[in-house]
Structure 1
């Protein structure tokens, strides 16, 4: 499964921000659910102001329960829930 260009670009931006020490973890509220989220942000400057660009939030609970990894035998599929976690 190919990773889209926009995701690869965002990941590279995060790597640069991390290398420069310009990452922040910010507590935010999810607009859809109202839940608290801990959001990974790149930090930039706009004149004298700080600009926080959100890239994603940390998984609640066990991240192995939240995501299914790609299936190495099927480039367009994912491993089943009972076969891919720890």
Structure 2
């Protein structure tokens, strides 16, 4: 699968912010559940004010349980956990 251009652009922005020392970790609340989330943000300035642009949150618990990686043998597939039966 091809990574869409918006994701590539956001990733480049995140790398640039990291290289410039302009990243922050903010405690926020999930808009749907109200649960705390620890959000990675790029930090910028706008007319003297700080602007925090959220890019994603850190995985709660084991991040390997949260994602299915791409299948190297199937460009359009993902490796599924055998226990899921999917």
Q: Name the TM-score, length of structure 2 as normaliser.
A: 0.93
Q: Distance in 2 between matches of 1:49 and 1:82?
A: 49
Superposed, 1:37-56 pairs within 5 Å as 37-56=37-56
Residues 26-82 of structure 1: CA deviation (Å, up to 9, x unaligned): 000000111100000000000110000000000000000111100001111100114
Q: Distance in 1 between matches of 2:15 and 2:74?
A: 29
Stretches of structure 2 that go unaligned for 5 or more consecutive residues are: none
Superposed, 1:23-42 pairs within 5 Å as 23-42=23-42
Q: Distance in 2 between matches of 1:21 and 1:67?
A: 28
Q: Note the aligned Cα RMSD (angstroms).
A: 1.1
Aligned length: 83
Q: Distance in 2 between matches of 1:70 and 1:81?
A: 12
Any idea what SS the aligned residue of 1:54 has?
strand
Stretches of 4+ aligned residues off by more than 6 angstroms:
none
